[in-house]
């Protein structure tokens, strides 16, 4: 399996490192093009993959072509490979907000997978939501499935609209969680905890709470009740969250990301 990446930034790097970690292919079978030569030097040094600044050169060498550029760079990249791919090649786009129709028209190519991964893919703990066009063969789907599984969990869906919705949840979601982690560590330090202890307490509280939610089989309301005795410390802090409309704020943030995903969809 030869995999070409157009764009070797954060997500391109995360994907190719996951692919190599899982031995899905060898570094000689990975080709990366990027307009930033420094990125290419680092990828060569770290992974020994083949690199080029020529997107068409990269695309012509891959059975699978991963589009890992930013949405605003798609328009300049598509004409470079438009109509030049052969029908056995598969295009796998992880670009937020850019629709299958845009990719099919812009590339004049039928076999497209649209996927939305997230950055915990760096350590094999991501989740990717994906869908495929009718032009994608079962064999290609199996290969894509293996690539996505190398980055963590994957969820196949048939309705493309769910990809834009997932972008606002799992795609952008790690940033929401990192913001919460940072805010809680900062607050812990503010009340006097040493920074190392604060970090350890916050990370384990999050990790433990997530695993407890997944494994206990209990409802979230019940889990919250277990920590919240009437008139106690948790009840005091939850009142502050409620007064600050924490839940509404999260809904607004998710809606803003979803609106943006739909807006850049063309
Ligand atoms: N990061 C995430 O959490 C995440 C999650 C899910 C999906 N995605 C999607 O993944 C895609 C890549 O995101 P990213 O965070 O990896 O972005 P990134 O770090 O900026 O990487 C994109 C790379 O593409 C390069 N590039 C720009 N124009 C190019 C061109 N015409 N030809 C070749 N290379 C070009 C950029 O170079 P310059 O920096 O010089 O422009 C950069 O090195 C985005 O579409 C995003 O929506 C990201």
**pTM, entire model:** 0.92
Task: Flag whether pLDDT at 264 surpasses 90.
Answer: no
Task: Flag whether pLDDT at 50 surpasses 90.
Answer: yes
Q: What is the mean pLDDT of residues 25-54?
A: 97
Task: Flag whether pLDDT at 14 surpasses 80.
Answer: yes
Distance CA 112, CA 114 (A): 6
Residue to mutate (ligand 1; options 4, 11, 81, 148; most atoms within 8 A of CB): 11
Between strands 3-6 and 64-67, the pairing is parallel
Q: Which CATH architecture has domain 173-264?
A: Orthogonal Bundle (1.10)
Q: Please report which confidence band the pLDDT of residue 266 belongs to, taking 50, 70 and 90 as the band edges.
A: low
Residue 44: closest CA among 80, 16, 65, 63: 16
Q: Measuring from atom 15 of ligand 1, which residue has the nearest CA?
A: 10
CATH class in words for 3-159: alpha beta
Q: Answer whether 10 contacts ligand 1 (Cβ < 6 A).
A: yes
Atom of ligand 1 nearest to the CA of 39: 43
Using the mean position of ligand 1's atoms as its centre, give its distance from the Cα of residue 76 in Å: 13
* pLDDT tens for each residue of 202-219: 999 999 999 999 999 999
Atom of ligand 1 nearest to the CA of 71: 45
Distance CA 200, CA 246 (A): 24
User: At which residue do the structure tokens 């997978």 appear?
Assistant: 113
Q: Answer whether 170 contacts ligand 1 (Cβ < 6 A).
A: no
Distance CA 115, CA 247 (A): 28
Q: Answer whether 169 contacts ligand 1 (Cβ < 6 A).
A: no
Q: Measuring from atom 38 of ligand 1, which residue has the nearest CA?
A: 36
Q: Could you state, in order of their start, the residue ranges of all structural domains in the chain?
A: 3-159, 173-264
Q: What percent of the chain has pLDDT over 70?
A: 100
Using the mean position of ligand 1's atoms as its centre, give its distance from the Cα of residue 190 in Å: 36
* pLDDT tens for each residue of 104-136: 999 999 999 999 999 999 999 999 999 999 999
The mean pLDDT of the chain is 96
pLDDT (0 to 100) of residue 263: 86
CA distances from 33 to 41, 63, 81, 153 (A): 11, 15, 13, 27
């Amino acid at each position: 399996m030869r995999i070409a990446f157009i764009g070797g930034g954060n997500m391109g790097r995360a994907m190719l490192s996951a692919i190599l970690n899982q031995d899905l292919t060898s570094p000689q079978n990975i080709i990366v093009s990027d307009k930033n030569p420094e990125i290419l030097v680092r990828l060569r040094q770290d992974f020994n993959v083949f690199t080029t600044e020529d997107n068409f050169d990269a695309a012509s060498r891959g059975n699978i072509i991963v589009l890992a550029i930013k949405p605003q760079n798609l328009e300049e990249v598509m004409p470079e490979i438009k109509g030049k791919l052969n029908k056995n090649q598969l295009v796998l786009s992880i670009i937020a907000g850019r629709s299958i129709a845009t990719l099919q028209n812009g590339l004049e190519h039928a076999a497209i997978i649209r996927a939305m991964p997230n950055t915990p893919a760096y350590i094999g703990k991501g989740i990717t939501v994906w869908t495929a066009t009718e032009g994608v063969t079962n064999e290609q789907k199996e290969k894509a499935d293996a690539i996505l599984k190398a980055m963590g969990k994957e969820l196949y869906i048939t309705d493309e609209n769910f990809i834009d919705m997932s972008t606002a949840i799992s795609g952008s979601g790690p940033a929401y969680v990192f913001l919460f982690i940072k805010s809680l560590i900062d607050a812990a330090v503010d009340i006097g905890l040493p920074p190392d202890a604060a970090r350890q307490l916050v990370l384990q509280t999050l990790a433990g709470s997530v695993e407890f939610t997944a494994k206990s089989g209990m409802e979230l309301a019940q889990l919250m009740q277990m920590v919240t005795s009437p008139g106690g410390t948790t009840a005091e802090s939850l009142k502050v969250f409620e007064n600050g409309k924490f839940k509404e704020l999260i809904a607004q943030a998710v809606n803003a990301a979803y609106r943006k995903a739909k807006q850049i969809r063309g």
